[in-house]
Structure 1
Amino acid sequence: MPDTSSQQAHHADDVFKRISNQNIRSIDLQFTDVAGMVKTVTIDADHLADALTEGVWFDGSAVEGFARIAESDMYLMPDLSTFAVIPWEGHHPEIGRTARILCDVYTPNGQPFAGDPRGALRRAMEQAAEMGLSYVVAPELEFYLFSAPPEQGELEQDDHASYFDASDGVARVIRKRITDALREMGIVVESSHHEVGSGQHELDFAPMDALRMADAILTARMAVRTIARQEGRFATFMPKPLSDAPGSGMHVHQWMRDLESDENRFADAREDYGLSRDGQAFLAGQLTHAREICAVLTPLVNSYRRLMSGLEAPIYVTWAQLNRGALLRVPRLSDDNRLGTRIESRCPDPSCNPYLAFTVLLHAGLRGIRDTLALPPAAEEELYEVSNRRRHLTTLPTSLQEALDEFEGSDVAREALGLHLFERFLEAKRLEWRDYLLVVSPWELERYLTIY
């Protein structure tokens, strides 16, 4: 929910003091398009006061999936609770420092813009609040580091280490700089480590409410790419950049907290797996609607290379406690775990728009609670070896086209995003799929050129 005027006033006092004390000369006002790409309007710090009262106007028709020419005028309203100095830009006395503020998008009549991804997540959080719930998440953000940008030739991984191996050299410096920078911006990375793939790394975030976490994911992706470039490396959140190496995911750990008591509404020691009735229904909702929301969680043509390869990426629409091949897990916890029972979604990847991803995950779960959906039995066997015909297991979509077909027919996705975002997302992704179909791939040339 937007800050009240008193909250904004409190934030404003602190912000203007910091601007003065830290020689901040420029403010990057940021928002995202439907695909999750960060858009920036930079203003002089002296103009921030006017921006807080009048907004900053821009042409929405120039932004992917935002508005058509006839409805293009809109403006940004800064959310001062997101103010942070950008650490990786450093301090140049002659030009000052730069801060960033994330913004909500409004139409000329003063209404929240229906096509603003951040607004969609706000609305979803408000629906949860009406049920007395707060949606809290903790993602695991994976990425690859390469020694040079792709235009300089074949991709070369930055190292040949593996899971939890000690990083050394440049990779260690990059990860340390990233976590330090994010800490300065109020974002806590509980741990970071090397992943399974050579040159692959992971950042594990401390839990936050979903809106603040989506803000944090945007910031983290910028930090990773920029700091890697400053250290002479190239970072990518592409889900499957290498055919013969694991893909990058963004597993999302989820909790529902009671708004009044702050208790974990997923936890009930009397139930199997320690998962409450609400937690079971929430999980059942995400299972039931998994295929419909997959296009939002894994939104690229390349995303389905990761899913279909296995390698701890989910293929089947199942849940489990121990099996890491399941789409959703209820991890086993020690008795003294401070956060308690949680539900882990293993479908999302780091290319998603986090605002939209958390929105559809939340709506699917809340639908399960409202409809009191029953949870099917867990699937603890080795899913990558089980016969699909024997078990009749439902699979996730195997291509972006299949995922978009499911998305298009989904009332949950339509309700979650609202008609404007729903149509713009579908339109943009259908175009992406059509563009892909026109390209002759290296695999086709190698397979067919000389034998036909």
Structure 2
Amino acid sequence: MVTKFVAPDTAGTAPGSVAPDRITQFVETLKDQGIAYVRFEMPDLHGVSRSKVVPIDKVEGYTRKGLNFYGGTLALDTASMVVSGAGLHEERKYRDHMIIPDLDTVTPVPWLDRTAKVICDPQWSPDDPLTVAPRYVLKSLLDKAAEMGFDVMMGHEFEFYLLHGETREPLFGGLHIFNNIRNQYVPELDQLLDYLRGSGVDVITSNCEYAPSQFEINFGPGVGLRGADKAFTFKNAVKEIAHRMGYLATFMSKPFADRAGCCCHFHISLLDRSTGKNICVDQDDPDGLSPTFRSFIQGILTHAPAMFPMIGPTPNCYRRLKPHTFAPSNISWGIEDRSAMVRVKATRDEDTHLEMRAASGLSNPYLTAAATLAAGLLGIQHQYELQPPVDGPSEDNPDLLKFPQTLEAALDGLAADTEMLSLLGEDFVRLLTTVKRFELARFHDHITEWERQEYMEIY
């Protein structure tokens, strides 16, 4: 099993333009470490990995020229149906695009023999990248933050259910958060942790969560794109490893009506690019928060309605966001308020940051980061004044604006926010909106078992 790669230094080179000698070094390093296959992976609109497996003797050629992929892959819905009008299918004559590996993202795939993976970016040509790709959208916002003088530290915290592969039912019952036996209920959980660590995910804690057969595995943050890349690797690895072990791992927001939902708590702070210092902290402030950080928080609150199609991208996501369920339900902030949308970790030191708690466990990690960063940067640009927190748990305050109650309402909220549209990119928003409205049409056409049970006999 390969445990470490020494990737070539590609700093300062544009995507798809790595120097030839570095590509040669990249391939030779893989060969020296016994790698026989490399998986070229592209994050899709939903945060799912779309990939092709390449034998090591073909890797150099595809790294130089790109690997062909169906050009409409980013405009497939959650059932992989072709979504007309999304801009990438008939509009491009159903052509291919090329995916270009980011050599800094190569990691082992320790549950497979002699295999590594690398994250790729799509382009029509070297001068025509697919700017609608979620990873590109986040890159552009990180560049915007850099122009404003900031690097971005981020970390994603996910909950998921581990279920029987055939029945899709929990492994155990009861509510036993942190229960020692449930933490390592089956030996495959220990193997899962080993595999994650071997794939470059720096696991820091693992435990069972509130609901039966629900788990949380946390890993360290990262600066910039690497933070989101790690979250992408984590989610897809958990799904794949669980499948190979005979289980189903699901990050679905609300798989069971009477049990806890699955979240993504997104942690973010801003660093001064020139010093590396955390700019969120101010020792002279009563709460230890800098003026810049206060404006950043208010940006998230002000533009929250527009964030929801990215942090809650399916109709099921809105079943989770209810009061008194350890999930937020209104646009709010507070210091250590677990019921608020924005929970501020005001530690008065370099660890000061915020935790945006409204994202679903199934959200695309690149888009969760992009939505939060875009809203926060707008707050800094406009020097928003942070609204005061409320007394008591935020979820109990009837005066606070509620979240959108449906994905339809969330899409309307995004369409109405011209500043968020501009920062995220109109082509990306068109793609996202077209695909999500297509999914919603299929959702509303579906006849549920509840409807049959409720109405068939009585009427």
TM-score (normalised: structure 2): 0.88
The one of 403, 409, 418 equivalent to 2:410 is: 403
The residue that corresponds to 1:94 in the other structure is none
- 1:419 matched to 2:440: no
1:30–1:100: 8 Å Cα contact kept in structure 2?
Answer: yes
Identity of aligned residues (%): 28
Where do residues 114-153 of structure 1 align in structure 2 (5 Å cutoff)?
114-149=131-166, 152=167
d(CA) in 2 for partners of 1:7, 1:273: 46
Q: Which runs of 5+ in 1 are unaligned?
A: 92-96
d(CA) in 2 for partners of 1:11, 1:100: 17
- 1:4 matched to 2:12: yes
Give secondary structure in 1 for the equivalent of 2:36.
Answer: strand
- Using the TM superposition, name which of 59-68 and 289-298 deviates more: 59-68
1:252–1:346: 8 Å Cα contact kept in structure 2?
Answer: yes
1:137 positional shift: 0.9
1:4 partner amino acid: G
d(CA) in 1 for partners of 2:69, 2:184: 40
2:321–2:329: 8 Å Cα contact kept in structure 1?
Answer: yes
- 1:105 matched to 2:122: yes
Deviations 1:17-66 (A, max 9, x none): 44223321211111122222211122221122222321222220354257
The residue that corresponds to 1:375 in the other structure is 386
Give secondary structure in 2 for the equivalent of 1:31.
Answer: strand
The residue that corresponds to 1:340 in the other structure is 351
Give secondary structure in 2 for the equivalent of 1:257.
Answer: strand
1:412 positional shift: 3.4
CA distance 1:285–1:427, change in 2 (3 Å)? same
Give secondary structure in 1 for the equivalent of 2:313.
Answer: coil
1:372 positional shift: 0.3
2:108 partner amino acid: V
1:133 positional shift: 0.4
2:298 partner amino acid: A
1:271 positional shift: 1.2
1:175–1:192: 8 Å Cα contact kept in structure 2?
Answer: no
The one of 331, 338, 354 equivalent to 2:345 is: 331
- The number of aligned residues is 435
1:76 positional shift: 1.2
The residue that corresponds to 1:82 in the other structure is 105
- Using the TM superposition, name which of 407-416 and 248-257 deviates more: 407-416
Deviations 1:180-227 (A, max 9, x none): 223223221211111111111112221102411221122111221222
Where do residues 290-309 of structure 1 align in structure 2 (5 Å cutoff)?
290-308=304-322
The residue that corresponds to 1:228 in the other structure is 242
d(CA) in 1 for partners of 2:391, 2:341: 12
CA distance 1:307–1:377, change in 2 (3 Å)? same
- 1:443 matched to 2:450: yes
1:314–1:347: 8 Å Cα contact kept in structure 2?
Answer: yes
TM-score (normalised: structure 1): 0.90
1:230 positional shift: 3.0
Give secondary structure in 2 for the equivalent of 1:164.
Answer: coil
- 1:30 matched to 2:38: no
2:262–2:361: 8 Å Cα contact kept in structure 1?
Answer: yes
1:327 positional shift: 0.5
2:456 partner amino acid: L
The residue that corresponds to 1:179 in the other structure is 193
- Using the TM superposition, name which of 361-370 and 27-36 deviates more: 27-36
d(CA) in 1 for partners of 2:456, 2:31: 65
- 1:201 matched to 2:215: yes
1:301–1:399: 8 Å Cα contact kept in structure 2?
Answer: yes
- 1:48 matched to 2:48: no
CA distance 1:260–1:185, change in 2 (3 Å)? farther
Instruction: Tell me which protein shows more helix as a share of its residues.
Output: 1
1:365 positional shift: 0.4
Q: Which runs of 5+ in 2 are unaligned?
A: 1-9, 77-86
1:11 positional shift: 6.1
